[in-house]
Structures are given as structure tokens and as C-alpha cells.
Chains A and B, each alone.
Chain A
Amino acid sequence: MTPIQISAYTATTCLGRGLAATQSAIAHGIGGLAPCHFETVRLDTWIGEVPGVDDQGLPSSLKAYDCRNNRLTLMGLETDGFADQVRNTAARLGRDRVGVFLGTSTSGILQTELAYRRRDAATGALPPDFSYRGSHNSFSLTEFTRRYFGLEGMAMTVSTACSSSAKVFAAASRQLALGTIDAAVVGGVDSLCLTTLYGFASLQLTSARPCRPYDLHRDGISIAEGAAFALLERADTPDSGTILLLGAGESSDAYHMSAPHPEGLGARLAMEGALRAAALVPRDIDYINLHGTATPANDAAEGKAVAALFGAATPCSSTKGATGHTLGAAGAVEAVICALALDGRFLPGSPGTEAVDPALGLDYVQQTRAAKPRRALSNSFGFGGSNCSLIFGVAA
């Protein structure tokens, strides 16, 4: 595929706001998970909450979009100078030449959950301050972002559960390759809500401890929230050291709504697709950021697919022990972690993982270490059997 450059990127998670906080936490092996005290939720589980989301105000002209998800969106955009880069790019290329492609699974559903507690006693109506379009609809964060920057190009939300914000990189890179746009704001935002906390608990997929990806005793996920963004442009003549998107691969499991294909067949198809798109072979990959949710089934299926394709030769880790599982934001969060690893010359470790499952047969990185990775592959898989793998590199 046409190489795409990542002109700017940023992430805000429970590790902190921005790249420096994220990299520092990963370097020191510090996770951001804490026991769940979110809202009125009473569940024995750990979560990754972003501090200060409720304090983030929205511009008065965009009050209709006010909800936790869009507050987190704005926090994320106004971090690491990312918003200024978007404004400068729109000024340089034209507001109609910058697309917006954002992933989410929850959008602002928390706002609807809260509104359902305030229904009119007589009619059952939702309160008049509830804005379906501004908070509930899956397009809400994308429309908010497009309006915040005054952009007039194409825009779409990708919502494929936990692969959503990996797939935005693929969708945007197609349009960049075709020349229908000249730049794209891509990313993902998901925020804590009752639906996902009680929903994953109902499936018995949440752990009562901080999650332990690829551990012999792993027993579930830690739900988290996050906002991560990247600014993509065609890389006609990238400067040395520029982070590039080299390939994307997408596939479906065609197996089950909430369980992965047991042999990881769909996962393998996505990784093979990304390698093919990048014109690379498995030994070209120096690091794999695993989906690694820490459920017994996910890590077993993904581990089999990675071992089948890469053997035990490629260092890999899941960073969800640090960030938690940010669901629809995970693809973008982990794309940013791959970019940090390529730029900062390290391999991320896996807080929480104590005894790596020997049955999975991988070179699993437990402690962050210095290295010089040139190419990193990132996996993201979602409910409904939706898989996406991305390959990032550094311009020579």
C-alpha cells in the first residue's frame, strides 16, 4: 500500500495525559489500574479511569455534544499540541481536504444510561437536556471533532467493538492512497459506562485483580477508557525518523459473537493481510503489540495465531496490563504505543504479568527494555469477530 506518515500523535489513558506520561509509565513498568469506584457501579473489578474528565468543559457552541466521551475526546485532542497540528494542516491543505475517521464502541452511552434514571414519572420521556445526536449516536465524537476544527471533508465513525480504532487507520489510508483527501485525523475514544462494565461482567470476562495478559493464571480484562489520535498524510518524501503506517490487514472470524475463533484463524488472516499490504515477511517485524486482553480464550487464540506465523522469534507483549482494555480506543492507543516504541527505541513490558503461560510459546516481553525496533505490528480484535492488524515503521 501507499506508505502513510504519522505527522502527529497523542494518547490519554489511565497512564496519564500525553506521550511523556505514557512513555514514562511504560518505561518504569507502572500500570494505571485501580479498584472500580466508578459512578454507582458495584463490581469487584479493576478499571483504568482517566483523571479529570469531568472537569473538561466543551466550547459553548458545542454544548449539545456534552458527555463523558466527548469531554475525553477534547482532552485527548488538546494534548501534546495535537489540535494545533490539525489546525495548521487544515490551513495548509484546506478544510475540505482533511478527513475525520474515529473509532468508538460506546460513544456517549453513559449519558443515555444516566438519562434513563431521570425519565418523566408520568410519560416516561427522557429529560429535555438529553441530546441523542450529541451524545448517544455513534457519530457523536466524529461530528464533534469535525465541528471543533471546522473541517468540511469526509468523516465517519468506525464501530466494530474493540477493533474500531485500528480499522480507522485502514479506512483513512485507503482514501489517502486514492487522493480523495490529503490528511486524516484518525483515532479512538471510549469512556467508562455501565453497559460495558456490567456487560463484560455478565460474560464473566472481568478480572477481580489488575489484568494479567498472557499469564498462566490470567482470568479476565480490566476495563478502561482512553482517547488516542494520529494525523495521517501521504508519505511522499518522509524525513528520516518519521513514523509510517506500512500496512493494514482486516478479517472476520465468522465464528461467534463474543468468543474468538479457537485457533485464531481470523487473527492470522488479519496479520497476513497486513504483512502482504506492507510487502513484508514475518521476520521483518521486530515487535508485536498483542491484543492480549488477558481472558483465557483471547490470549490462547491470539497466541496460537502469532506462534503459527512468527514462531517464538519475535518479541511481543500486550500493554493492557498498563492501560487496561480501552475497548474501542484500544487500536489507536496501541498504535501510539508502537509509535513511541519505534521512536523511543524500547520494547514495552507487561505490568501485571507474573508467570508467562508456557503453552503459548512466545518471546513475551515482561519488562520494558531498550532495543531498536524498526517495524512493529499491532493487533486489535473485537466482538463479532472483527480483526485488524496494523504495521508501523520508521523512515530511513
Chain B
Amino acid sequence: MSPTLSAWIDGVGFLAPGLPDWSVAQAVLRGEFPYVAAASLLPAPAVLPPAERRRASRVVKLTLAVGLEAAAAAGADPAQLATVFTASGADGHNCHALCEQLAGDDRQISPTRFHNSVHNAPAGYWGIATGSMAPTQVLCAFDGSFGAGLLDALGQVVADQQTTLLIAYDSEYPPPLFATRPLPDVAAVALLLSPRAGEGSLARITVGPTGDTPQSLADPALEGLRLALPALRALPLLQNLARRDSGSVVLEFLAPLHLEVAVEPC
């Protein structure tokens, strides 16, 4: 990966347990306030038509919240943005309900449950909500899902010169799947990535391969979040952004390949 994979971050969206948005997360990442554990809070998606709003699952609310936060921060029109969604799993509650019913005698599952079972359901609802007909990518790389999304989003920014909204997210499973994949709650990170510097650009990032060990966070609570939810493997990058620190961080991808991200604040 020697060539330059580089982009400007024009907006950030964030939602995690105890960290309801990017402004609160920034303050905690800067050390201005201590981290206080709490369940993730999901805003109602006012942007969806009423029929879809009623059906909207936690992952749909989650991805709309962070995606729209990042677009608004940059003053960007969501309808014009290519998107890259990346997640270890999609709607765990819906998946459990389907598996439970299919294990029983009445297998006539709900059509809505079925179409919500696809990994790209949040991307589909994003298109319906924003009216965006731009390309939308939907990825998974287990614990390396953030890295996969970052690489494909940068691919679109650099190869296609297309401003691209990266939305990395995760959600919990109910029992019994929870015991096999114990993600504690929902969390998501959105980065609006542009091929050129703008007036509101926050930082330039340049990404390359490394065999170095992924970076951990000094605060044990934040480090716990980084390890608990694959999307939050991005936290070392977000900490540099929040503190406006220049320098490189190493983000976990797929051992032995990890990603070195050089951050230059604007």
C-alpha cells in the first residue's frame, strides 16, 4: 500500500455508550470531562417518512444520527454524498427473531423482518431518508470493519475524486447470540471524507499499511470501548482529531496488517 491514500475530514459524527454526540465525545477525548458510562441514546429519525420511521430499527436510527451529524457539521447535502457503511453485524434483534421463528413450526416469517435482515438495511433506509441515489457501499470485516470501510472510502475519494461519507457502526445481539458475540450496545463513527481541502476541513489524513501493534488509549474506560465495539477501533484517530494533535496512530485492521493513519490538523 505504498501509494498515497489521503483525504480531508470535513465532518465527524459520533454516538457511543455515554458519548451521545461528537461534541461530548471531543470533550471527553480531550480530557476535559471524565467518561461516564451510560447506555447509548438513539434519537428518533425525524427525516424518515412516517411508515419507515415506525419500522426503523436501532441500527437505522444509529446510522442516520451519525451520518447526518457529520454531513451537517460540514454543511454538506446528504443527497449528494457517496456512502460507505461498514459493520461487524447489522440488526441483531431482527436476526434473532428470524432464527427463533425458523426453528419452530410456523416458518411464515414477516416480509418486513426479511427485508430488514440484509446487512445493507441501514444503507437502504439512508437512501430513502436522504433521497441520495449516489453509490452506497456496505462492508464487513469482523473486528477489522472500521479499517475496511476506511480503505474503501479512501478508494472512492482518491480514485473517483468523490466526497464520501464513511459510517462505521455496530449493534448488540440479544441472547443467545449475545454470548457468542458480546457487543454491549450500539456505537457509530461517521467521517465525511473529501478529496480536497475546504474552508471547514478539520484535518488531512494519510493512510498506509503497517505491521506495528494497534494503538491503545490511556484512559481504561475509553480503551474498554475501543475493544468492545469494532467501530470504535477508530478512537485513537478521533482522539487526535479532538485534541488537534498531529502525528500518526495505528488502527487495528486484520492481523498482521494494520493501518497507520497520519493526522495533520487544518
Contacts and interface: CB of A to CB of B under 8 A. Distances in A.
State which size class the interface on A falls in: 35 or more
A273 B136 CA distance: 13
B18 interface: no
B140 A138 contact: yes
With a 10 A CB-CB cut-off, give which of A136, A159, A266 has the most chain B CB atoms: A159
Contact of B117 (A125, A195, A254): A195
B127 interface: yes
B120 A386 contact: yes
B132 interface: yes
Contacts of A159: 118-120, 138-140
A174 B159 contact: yes
Interface stretch (B67-75, B103-111, B220-228, B244-252): B103-111
A20 B7 CA distance: 45
B131 A254 contact: yes
A258 B115 contact: yes
Contact of B175 (A105, A124, A133, A194): A124
Given A137-B89, A159-B139, A202 B109 contact: yes
A385 B148 contact: no
Given A125-B176, A137-B89, A255-B128, A156 B117 contact: no
A390 B257 CA distance: 30
Interface stretch (A73-81, A147-155, A280-288): A147-155
B181 interface: yes
Contact of B136 (A96, A132, A156, A252): A252
A64 to B, nearest CB: 12
Contacts of A156: 139-141, 148, 151-152
Nearest to A119: B176
B125 interface: yes
A198 B259 CA distance: 41
Contact of A203 (B2, B95, B114, B127): B114
Q: Which 7 A-B pairs have the closest CB atoms?
A: A384-B124, A199-B114, A250-B135, A159-B119, A174-B155, A138-B140, A132-B180
Interface of A: 1, 96, 105, 109, 112-113, 116-117, 119, 123-126, 130-133, 136-139, 142-143, 146, 152-161, 167, 171, 174-175, 177-181, 194-195, 198-200, 202-203, 250-258, 265-266, 269, 273, 382-386
8 contacts: A109-B99, A116-B99, A160-B137, A195-B117, A202-B109, A385-B124, A386-B120, A386-B138
